Structure 1
């Protein structure tokens, strides 16, 4: 806010000139102010003496200090609310809370320690424990036996003659982040075995599966194959280094825009296929997802047979320089497979030709 060039005492003197008989226009012209400013001063300071102005200035100063104190208290209260959920057990935990408050709310060390209830001496304390020998022994044993967990390492250390107790060894073990991550297999719901039946018409049942291969520089890439079980037509062949469930849904939406939507899709239990993203898409589009039993790829044998042809005729035949080269060769094979390649199960004709032939026979 812009500060006025007139002090309260000067304003009080200007207002006194009107009481001495001068007109408002003359007063405003002499002091270079507008009539609106004059009447605003008059409404604020009318009936006041110079001593009253001094008291008002003191009250404003005190009010400013109270506002600042109130803001600091509110900040301390907010800081305490944020740390109420934390379990304050050890001094090390209290030090972490004080650091959190200082950096987040920009409070001083004294106020932060006072709010949490820890002395500044305890806050500044630095541990004098020397764990260099323990760290060396623990690191050496873990490198020799990378599959050992904490208790194996601890008993190994005790057998070597060291007297460190398990609490000290565990503290160093955790500080070095040596914990072995457990691999917990995700529990899958029981799947019902369903025999494969060749559909009688197009877009009645599709099959989906992933393949993987590597480029010349060693980078891995994946291929998503989507086929129509009716005439073994390869509907989509998506190539990329990473294909998520959202990408799978996007490919299915592209096929839907082309007028292709199945009644059901047969897939395995891969993470992309059991994701909520694909299940939500299937629910919205009224498509049944048929899952095969885990570890039974023969229950999805139609797409597995297509994958074998893709592996023998494409992936094993070429060395791909980069991802673009893999996409170009995959697109060429896709066209060859659908339009020209003879298929034994279709009477040695291509999938497109078989579909056209069956359509003509119905007509």
Structure 2
């Protein structure tokens, strides 16, 4: 009970909780201490942490070939039989509309985004290339993370993020995920995660290899990509993002 005057003046609410328990034997939890500190106006100010990787805002681009710009985003699905969500993260090439790669899982962390990006680069034989795609994302926690930003820097990839509330700046991935919702996720009430996983894998194969795309001369994305490299075929309209 003989706490020295001023003890704890520089503490945050969590340490203050332990002081109150230790010095005054109070039965109190950190949430109560936080509320009391907030009401009294004595919450310690949070440190301002400066990001090592400042945000690069997305800019207007004319896309003339594959692997110049990939958009990435996350889609949520629901497993009714298990009452839980799952996640689908997709990287899509805005030129040929093909999904370069994707991740399906019960969690959606920065490490998953990194692994999927590396796998997509490997599949497209880009890991040893000097010029790599620009990656465009929103400001989700996976994409502002140190793990994702440092990986992009190590690989020599430019990562740009759209301003808040501007989904039109990544319209291609938004459109793709609407198709995923309409043609796959909303068609089923999944009884298990395994069932949902298989349905998404089947849809991805269908989308890349069989679904006709009007702006790609009514070719599937994978076939259009092949035709582009063999004959120079380009989309019906210029790709501006």
TM-score by length of 1: 0.49
Go from structure 1 to structure 2 and tell me whether the alpha carbon gap of 1:96 and 1:283 turns closer, same or farther (over 3 Å shift): same
The partner residue of 1:200 within 51, 64, 87 is 64
Tell me by how many angstroms 1:87 deviates.
Answer: 3.6
Structure-2 change in CA distance of 1:201 and 1:321 (3 Å): same
Distance (whole Å) between structure 2 residues aligned to residue 249 and residue 236 of structure 1: 12
Distance 1:321 1:289, change over 3 A: same
Greater Rg over alpha carbons, structure: 1
SS at match of 1:287: coil
Measured at CA, do residues 316 and 338 of structure 1 come closer, stay the same or move farther in structure 2, by a change above 3 Å? same
Question: What SS class does the counterpart of residue 184 from structure 2 fall into?
Answer: helix
Where is the strand percentage greater, Structure 1 or Structure 2? 2
Q: Does 1:209 align with 2:73?
A: yes
1:5-24 matches, within 5 Å, as: none
Corresponding position of 1:297: 167
CA distance in 2, matches of 1:268, 1:228: 16
2:153 maps to 1:227: no
How many residues are aligned here? Answer: 202
CA distance, structure 1, for counterparts of residue 122 and residue 55 of structure 2 = 34
Residue 248 of structure 1 aligns with which residue?
A: 113
CA contact (8 A) 2:71 2:135 kept: yes
Q: Is the 1:215–1:322 Cα contact (8 Å) retained in structure 2?
A: yes
- 1:306 and 2:176 are equivalent in the alignment: yes
| Helix, strand or coil at the partner of 2:187 | coil
1:176 is displaced (CA, Å) by: 8.5
Consecutive unaligned residues in structure 1, runs of 5 or more: 1-85, 98-125, 128-170
The residue correspondences of 1:100-139 to structure 2 (distance < 5 A) are none
Quote how far apart the aligned CAs of 1:357 are. 1.5
1:265–1:175 Cα change, 3 Å? closer
How far apart, CA to CA, are the structure 2 residues paired with 1:295 and 1:191?
16
Matches of residues 5-44 of structure 1 in structure 2 within 5 Å? none
User: In structure 2, how many angstroms separate the alpha carbons of the residues matched to 1:208 and 1:272?
Assistant: 11
Deviation string, structure 1 residues 2-28 (Cα, Å, up to 9, x no partner): xxxxxxxxxxxxxxxxxxxxxxxxxxx
Cα pair distance change 1:202/1:218, threshold 3 Å? same
Pick aligned residue for 1:96 from 4, 22, 37: 22
Contact preservation (8 Å) 1:264, 1:288? yes
Change (3 A) 1:354 1:279: same
- Kept after mapping to 2: 8 A contact 1:191/1:293: no
How many Å separate the matches in 1 of 2:19 and 2:135?
A: 53
Query: Offset of 1:256 from its aligned partner?
Result: 3.0
Task: Report the CA distance shift for 1:256/1:93 in structure 2 as closer, same or farther (over 3 A).
Answer: closer
Contact 2:88 2:102 in 1 (8 A): yes
Answer yes or no: is the 8 Å Cα contact 2:98–2:208 preserved in 1. yes
Q: Superposition RMSD on alpha carbons, in Å?
A: 3.5
Q: Does the 8 A contact of 1:244 with 1:272 survive in 2?
A: yes
- For 1:293 and 1:232, the matched residues in 2 are separated by 23
**What TM-score comes out, normalization by structure 2 length?**
0.72
Greater fraction helix:
1
TM-aligned CA deviation for residue 175 of structure 1: 5.5
Unaligned stretches of 5+ residues in structure 2: 1-5, 10-17, 39-45, 234-241
What is the alpha-carbon distance in structure 1 between the residues aligned to residue 206 and residue 19 of structure 2?
66
Deviation at 1:264, TM superposition (A): 0.8
